[in-house]
Structure 1
Amino acid sequence: MSNCKITKKVFNVGQLDVLIDHLHCGGVLAYPTESVWGIGADAFCEQAVEQVLKLKQRPASKGLIVLTDHVMKIKPLLVDLPPQNQAHLLKKMSRHHYQNQAITWLVPISPSSHIPTLLTGGFNTLAVRITTHPTLNLICQKLTSDKNPYGFLVSTSCNIANQPPATTFLQAANYFGDSVGYLMDESLGFDKPSQIIDLSSGKIIR
């Protein structure tokens, strides 16, 4: 990261390789999600995740949602569970379909998965969403590497704490100006924030 120089701040969908370089260099990104705009970073770049928290004025104890592109990316998080339990939980995630509301799962994480505390807030679960947004799904694919084998992209609402989430590029830029990069794309038009479900118990948290 020390050899990186982040200069570009606005990316379109045809510039994903440059956008990925931005994320690999520790850049923060604001982007449209399934509903409102989100703000995030490469989930395994500690400096960038800390910057997300600082910009939002969000306490680290809350943890963060991460996006990934495929349910099988979740399997290593469950490695300490019996195989039949792993299969059951992965099947549960796979059979849910979005109906104008995305689903974020609280996934039990094995200690051997080495998920940073900044992401979990110190809890024994990680909030994960398999994104159906085509551009974000592709970003997660491109983020996948030895350092980030899950393809995790941090995804928290694009706002300062206690302010309404941005729903447009202009609102996002009004919050964060030149401090972050921006993906020029459209949301999926969902009118509700993601539903949060505990994967193990099935309990709806939100």
Structure 2
Amino acid sequence: MLRDEINKAFEILKSGGVILYPTDTIWGLGCDATNPDAVEKLLNIKNRPAEKSLIVLLDVDSKLQSYVAEIPDVAYDLIEYAEHPLTIIFSGAKNLAHNVINADGSVGIRIVKHDFCTPLIQRFRKPIVSTSANLSGNASPKFFDDIDPEIIDAVDYVVDFEQENRSIKKPSTIMKLSASGQFEFIRK
């Protein structure tokens, strides 16, 4: 049952663990975005260099101000009117684990609309990391069955929801947004 899966994932996140979970885009690895030890554990599972940035998920845009110093008004319009999952890179990240924040002080944040992620983040009351469930350098898995067994064995919990889903999902659009409201697409 969905509520049970949310509760199990919540307990793992709370204890500093790493989950393998479905998102509004592709299957992801996640942890508490405010816990540097949990982020380090996730990076080790992925075999990912620390200088590559991570995406953070929030459930509502009203929480952005807790994690970004200055939010251009246009950000709220972009989030509201985006037809597909949209990750916005904001400068001036704050209140996040140091190893989530990019070297230039920015962070990519996506307001997620998903049956599992949204209630999980609401329950957890903190942002969670979302990075593709693959070993660094390998292709992102299209479906749960494509996930490397090494990843599955390394995480603290594998969410039992949407594992049979065969609808094609793709990574989010990524847009860099400056404090002045200027933006550029990083990934469409």
Band of TM-score, shorter chain: 0.7 to 0.9
How far did 1:190 drift? 5.3
Q: Distance in 1 between matches of 2:150 and 2:15?
A: 22
Contact 1:36 1:166 in 2 (8 A): yes
Answering whether residue 34 of structure 2 is matched by residue 23 of structure 1, we say: no
Residue 103 of structure 2, aligned match among 96, 99, 122: 122
Calculate the TM-score normalised by the size of structure 1.
0.78
Instruction: Return the offset for 1:68.
Output: 0.6
**Counterpart Cα distance in 1 of 2:75 and 2:166:** 24
Query: Percent same amino acid among aligned pairs?
Result: 27
Map Cα deviations across residues 74-109 of structure 1 (whole Å, 9 max, x no partner). 023344x4xxxx4614433333222xx311000122
Structure 1 residue 117 displacement after superposition: 2.2
Does the CA contact (< 8 Å) of 2:39 and 2:97 recur in 1? no
SS of alignment partner, residue 41 of structure 2? helix
Is 1:88 paired with 2:78?
no
Rg larger for: 1
Q: Is the 8 A contact 1:131 1:137 kept in 2?
A: yes
Report if aligned partners of 1:41, 1:154 keep a CA contact under 8 Å in 2: yes
Q: Aligned-pair distance for 1:123? A: 2.1
Contact 1:169 1:184 in 2 (8 A): no
What is the aligned partner in structure 1 of residue 92 from structure 2? 109
Mapping for residues 111-150 of structure 1, pairs under 5 Å: 113-144=94-125
**Equivalence for 2:185:** 204
Separation in 2 of the partners of 1:42 and 1:152?
A: 7
Indicate conservation of the 8 Å contact 1:34/1:189, yes or no: no
Aligned partners of 1:192, 1:177: CA distance in 2, in Å? 20
Q: Partners in 2 of 1:116 and 1:61 — Cα distance?
A: 13
Task: Report the Cα offset of residue 132 of structure 1.
Answer: 1.0
Which amino acid counterpart does residue 91 of structure 2 have in structure 1? P
Structure 1: runs of 5 or more not aligned: 1-11, 145-150
Q: Which has the higher helix share?
A: 1
Q: For residues 16-66 of structure 1, what are the alpha-carbon distances to aligned partners after superposition, in whole Å with 9 as ceiling and x for unaligned?
A: 223211111111111112232111111112221101101111111112101
What residue number does 1:158 align with? Answer: 133
Report the 3-state secondary structure (helix = DSSP H, G, I; strand = E; otherwise coil) of the residue aligned with 1:119.
coil
TM-score under structure 2 length normalisation? 0.85
**Residue 31 of structure 2: aligned partner:** 41
CA–CA separation in structure 2 for the residues paired with 1:43 and 1:69:
13
Structure 1 position 13 matched with structure 2 position 2: yes
Q: How many residues align?
A: 180
The 3-state SS of whatever aligns with 1:75 is: helix
Distance 1:128 1:190, change over 3 A: farther
Q: Where in structure 2 are there 5+ consecutive unaligned residues? A: none
